[in-house]
Chains A and B, each alone.
Chain A
Amino acid sequence: MNSLDNIFKRSLASAETPAPSGLWSKIDKSLSSSETTAHLKKEALNQSKSLFSSLISTSILVVSIGVCSLLVSKNNIPVAQNNLPKTLPEKTSPIRERISQKTKTTKTQPKARNSKPSLHEIKLKSTPVTVITKINKNVPDLPLVAQPETEFNTQTNTAIKPSTLPDKIEEALNQEKKEEIHKKGEFVTFTIKYNNTSGKRVKNLKVWEEFPDWCDARTLETLGHNTTHQVKTIIKESQNTVEWKIKGDFSPDLLNPSNTGFIEYRVKINEDRKTSDLEKNKPGVK
């Protein structure tokens, strides 16, 4: 450090300048609105969960009753016999077998497309990107999960949310059109939510996302996040991906166990981006 630096440090390191009047009211307003938004989001999630649960319960009940009625009428079995004895062997009980099959089918419904809205989906109404969140390779034993329905692969250390969207823009745009939400050329806002379920502190975190061709990573803008640490956004044009590197340099508790975080961003729906553009940007091709 030279004398010039010293003069600046001495004069400015602990200097105070009165903050603009009226700024507190803006902060107060933002805090109130974020508290309200958080409350509303929580309520919406709870409502969706309870609605979903009741839908599943109802559909199981309806399917079971329907199947029972059908089988009872087909096999001409009195209704009283629906209460099948549990000791009855499987092979000699076609009714039990069929009911069981139907029930299994119903239970698999939550895994089907758009059947159970995650936080992400609730906010967006539709999910036009594949969300893949990876953890930093330097923290190999961390099961970090990006979405409530994310499957965690312990071998590759990645958390992958199955894609719920079509790969082709035409399908996506048609889908959007039906719901009257987004059109080509518009920006779509997304939120990635992550949760440390590992029981260990995380020091360095890398969140990344890849887009289908019709979402152009070059148009990405990070809108916000809830971390106090540095967030570095790296857009890889050649791969149509983005990485957010969150680094903790002063505190060991970058992400404590069970803590959550989010990153909000927006991208433009763009059908003009072609595979040839991606090829041009590959390293070494230029």
Chain B
Amino acid sequence: MNPTELNTLIEGCKRNNRVSQRELYDAFSGLLFTICLRYSKNEAEDLLQMSFIKIFNNVKQYQGAGSFEGWIKRITVNTAITHYHKKNILSKSEDITDYKEEVSSDVESSLEKMSKNDLIEVINSLPDIYKISFNLYAIEGYKHNEIADMLGISEGTSKSQLSRARKMIQQKLKQTELMEEARTI
């Protein structure tokens, strides 16, 4: 979609034009659904629905200052985080010292072979607090101080959660490899 078409759609959405809203949904639902899947596979559909309702209800606030795609992505991520805040699970974290971890070449190669859906599965297998930190840092590109601010935790906690998430991912991949090896034997 070129910028002119997108602007026409946004203007239509600002006037609550249902046809424009539908077209915008068709254009971005795939992208936003992947984000929702990364944060909560079981509740991804609800998150996507909530995100689009917020987008349509607040599209008048979008003044064209930045990328529209970035704006709706942020809304979706914020919706997911607010959802976790409601469940009150973000406060259940501990602040531990960060430690460095190395990623083995085996893990890297098995990750490279994995499909998008498999990677989403790996992320979803993490406990909620680690999953959110990993998503925000590794994929969304937030810094630790920003994540700490968003989640209401300390920077140290954010770092340690990321470390633990990475370590868990590696452990899971190793386990999967071992299981596959056992099957082939």
Q: Which residues in A have their C-beta under 8 angstroms from that of B134?
A: 8
How many A-B contacts are there with CB distance less than 8 Å? 139
- From residue B56, how far is it (CB to closest CB) to chain A in Å? 6
| Residues of the B chain whose Cβ atoms lie less than 8 Å from the Cβ of A17 | 30, 33-34, 37, 116-117
The answer to whether A4 and B111 touch across the interface, beta carbons within 8 angstroms, is yes
B126 to chain A, nearest CB (A): 12
- Evaluate contact between A24 and B25: CB separation under 8 angstroms: yes
Give the interface size class of chain B. Answer: 35 or more
B94 adjacent to chain A (CB < 8 Å): no
Kindly state the separation between the CA atoms of A249 and B37 in the bound complex, as whole angstroms: 23
Binding site of B, secondary structure by majority: helix, strand, loop or mixed?
A: helix
Q: Are B86 and A2 in contact (CB under 8 A)?
A: no
What is the interface size of chain A, counting residues whose CB is below 8 A from a CB of the partner?
46
* Binary interface encoding of chain B residues 62-102 relative to chain A, with 1 for a CB under 8 A from any of its CBs, else 0: 01011000110011001001100110100000000000010
Known A2-B166, A31-B53, A249-B146; judge A228-B29 contact (CB<8 A).
no
Residue B182 lies at the interface, judged by CB distance under 8 Å to chain A: no
Docked-complex contact A5 and B138, CB < 8 angstroms: yes
Contact B116 A4 (CB under 8 A): no
8 Å CB interface, A259-285 against B: 259
In the assembled complex, which residues on chain B have CB atoms less than 8 Å from the CB atom of A27? 25, 49, 52-53, 56
Which residues on the B side are within 8 Å of A229 (C-beta)? Answer: 78
Chain A residues closer than 8 Å to B85, beta-carbon distance: 230-233
> Bound state CA distance, A18 and B34, in angstroms?
8
Chain B residues within 8 Å of A251, by CB? 61, 65-66, 71
Residues in A lying within 8 Å of B, measured CB to CB = 1-5, 7-9, 11-20, 23-24, 26-28, 30-31, 34-35, 221-222, 226-234, 247, 249-253, 256, 259
Interface residues of B (CB under 8 A from A): 16, 18, 21-22, 25, 29-34, 37-38, 45, 48-49, 52-58, 61, 63, 65-66, 70-71, 74-75, 78, 81-82, 85-86, 88, 101, 103, 107-108, 111-112, 114, 116-117, 119-120, 123, 134, 137-139, 141, 146, 149-150, 152, 166, 169-170
